[in-house]
């Protein structure tokens, strides 16, 4: 964590300023941003007035108790909510300054902003085809597909384990390997952002470690946002952490504090953050 963190002086300086947007100003440019973002499922407001910036080529962890809206926030970033009847967004969500809520080409958006889910979701086809499917749909030639399959599997840290059995079913892999296959599938279409929704919660500690190491490597080239219930994982892998909480009165999710992970886990500014990370509630 330390070698990818801003300097202590920068961290201290960031603490002096108000949280949210200004916490990462000047440290790294924002890849994704939300401003005064509220989200509704029908008449129920699931998120209220969330503003934060996800820094480019850094790992940002979203933490908070169940129901606080962190997975909802993650899904807004690539418009997964479009499939939910009655769902709507107020406020602004931007990818590289472009308004996500107004984008018409969702295929392009989801190519740029990939998603890895809690449970590995390999397609019922071979390891090769799992990675190649989207490339073929995009019209890539055979040689290019083969090259991308290998590169994606290598980048996902899976190549050496599967190179001799690319035609066997993806579902035959172990849980940790399946999750890395899903990451390879995501990498194949050359995304800029990878959203991960509790990617290790169904994995054993060894597979979890492999995914965490992979995330650290990928952060050199990709912007990563991860939802996790594992506080130690957030502390280990992320550069920035956002703490969210469900409002006790009208039950909407809200952002309580956002800043460098070292600050959130050492000297959080808000007592609610401290109570949560020290296990005193949630």
Partner 1 sequence: MEFETELASLRETLLRMGGQVESQIDAATRALRERDRGAADLVRRTDQQLNELFRQIREQCLMVIATQQPVARDLRTLMGIVYISTELERMGDYAVRIARITGTICGLPDKQLQPEFGLMADLTVIQVHDILDALIEMDEVRAREVAAKDDDIDRLYHRLFDTLVEEIGEGGGPEAALRGVTLMQAAHSLERIADRVTNVAEDIVFWESGQVVELG
Q: Kindly tell me which residue out of 19, 120, 176, 268 binds partner 1, with binding defined by CB under 8 A.
A: 268
Calculate the alpha carbon distances from 131 to 117, 193, 253, 273, 280 in Å.
Answer: 16, 17, 35, 39, 43
Choice between 161 and 274, CB closer to partner 1: 274
**Spatial distance between the Cα atoms of 46 and 64, rounded to a whole number of angstroms:** 14
Choice between 35 and 270, CB closer to partner 1: 270
**Spatial distance between the Cα atoms of 175 and 141, rounded to a whole number of angstroms:** 30
Binding flag, residue 235, partner 1 (CB under 8 A): yes
Minimum CB separation of residue 273 from partner 1 in Å reads 8
Q: Kindly tell me which residue out of 9, 232, 249, 281 binds partner 1, with binding defined by CB under 8 A.
A: 232
Give the residue among 32, 142, 42 at the shortest CA–CA distance from 94: 32
| Segment contacting partner 1 by CB under 8 A, of 53-61, 150-158, 240-248, 267-275 | 267-275
Minimum CB separation of residue 251 from partner 1 in Å reads 26
Question: How many residues belong to the site for partner 1 (CB under 8 A)?
Answer: 11
**Spatial distance between the Cα atoms of 181 and 127, rounded to a whole number of angstroms:** 7
| Segment contacting partner 1 by CB under 8 A, of 44-52, 64-72, 176-184, 231-239 | 231-239
| Subset of 12-51 contacting partner 1 (CB under 8 A) | none
Q: Which residues pair with 44 in a beta bridge?
A: 41
Q: From edge to edge, which strands make up the β-sheet containing 30-41?
A: 98-99, 87-95, 30-41, 44-55, 253-260, 240-246, 59-63, 223-227, 193-197, 113-116
Residue with tokens 């129901």: 67
Q: Kindly tell me which residue out of 140, 231, 272, 282 binds partner 1, with binding defined by CB under 8 A.
A: 231
Minimum CB separation of residue 118 from partner 1 in Å reads 22
Say whether 175 sits in a helix, a strand or coil.
helix
Calculate the alpha carbon distances from 188 to 12, 32, 127, 156, 167 in Å.
Answer: 39, 21, 13, 10, 17
Q: Contact letters (x/-) for partner 1, 175-214, by CB under 8 A?
A: ----------------------------------------
Minimum CB separation of residue 235 from partner 1 in Å reads 7
| Segment contacting partner 1 by CB under 8 A, of 45-53, 67-75, 197-205, 228-236 | 228-236
Choice between 223 and 241, CB closer to partner 1: 241
Choice between 60 and 241, CB closer to partner 1: 241
Q: Could you give the residue ranges of the DSSP H alpha helices within the chain?
A: 8-16, 70-76, 106-112, 127-137, 142-155, 159-162, 175-188, 205-218, 231-237, 261-266, 271-277
Q: Is residue 40 classed exposed, middle or buried when 0-12, 13-18 and 19+ CB atoms within 10 A define those classes? A: middle
Choice between 65 and 91, CB closer to partner 1: 65
169: left (phi over 0), alpha (psi -120 to 50) or beta: beta
Q: Kindly tell me which residue out of 187, 195, 246, 277 binds partner 1, with binding defined by CB under 8 A.
A: 277
Residues in the site for partner 1, rule: CB under 8 A? 231-232, 235, 265-268, 274, 277-279
């Amino acid at each position: 964590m330390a070698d990818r963190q801003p300097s202590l002086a920068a961290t201290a300086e960031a603490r002096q300023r108000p949280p949210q947007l200004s916490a990462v100003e000047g440290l790294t440019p924002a890849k994704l941003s939300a401003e005064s973002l509220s989200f509704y499922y029908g008449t129920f407001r699931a998120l209220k007035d969330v503003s934060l910036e996800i820094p480019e080529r850094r790992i940002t962890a979203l933490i908070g108790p169940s129901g606080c809206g962190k997975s909802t926030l993650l899904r807004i970033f690539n418009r997964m909510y479009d499939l939910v009847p009655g769902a709507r967004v107020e406020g602004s969500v931007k990818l590289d300054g472009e308004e996500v809520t107004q984008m018409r080409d969702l295929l392009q958006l989801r190519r740029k902003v990939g998603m890895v889910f809690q449970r590995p979701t390999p397609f019922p086809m071979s390891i090769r085809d799992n990675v190649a499917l989207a490339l073929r749909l995009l019209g890539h030639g055979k040689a290019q597909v083969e090259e991308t399959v290998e590169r994606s599997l290598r980048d996902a840290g899976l190549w050496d384990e599967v190179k001799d059995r690319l035609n066997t079913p993806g579902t035959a892999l172990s849980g940790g390997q399946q999750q890395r296959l899903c990451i390879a599938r995501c990498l194949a279409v050359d995304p800029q952002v990878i959203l991960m929704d509790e990617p290790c919660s169904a994995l054993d500690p060894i597979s979890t470690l492999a995914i965490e190491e992979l995330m650290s490597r990928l952060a050199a080239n990709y912007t990563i946002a991860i939802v996790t219930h594992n506080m130690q994982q957030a502390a280990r892998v992320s550069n920035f952490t956002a703490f969210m909480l469900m409002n006790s009165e009208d039950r909407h999710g809200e952002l309580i504090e956002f800043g460098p992970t070292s600050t959130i886990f050492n000297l959080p500014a808000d007592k609610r953050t401290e109570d949560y990370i020290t296990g005193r509630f949630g």
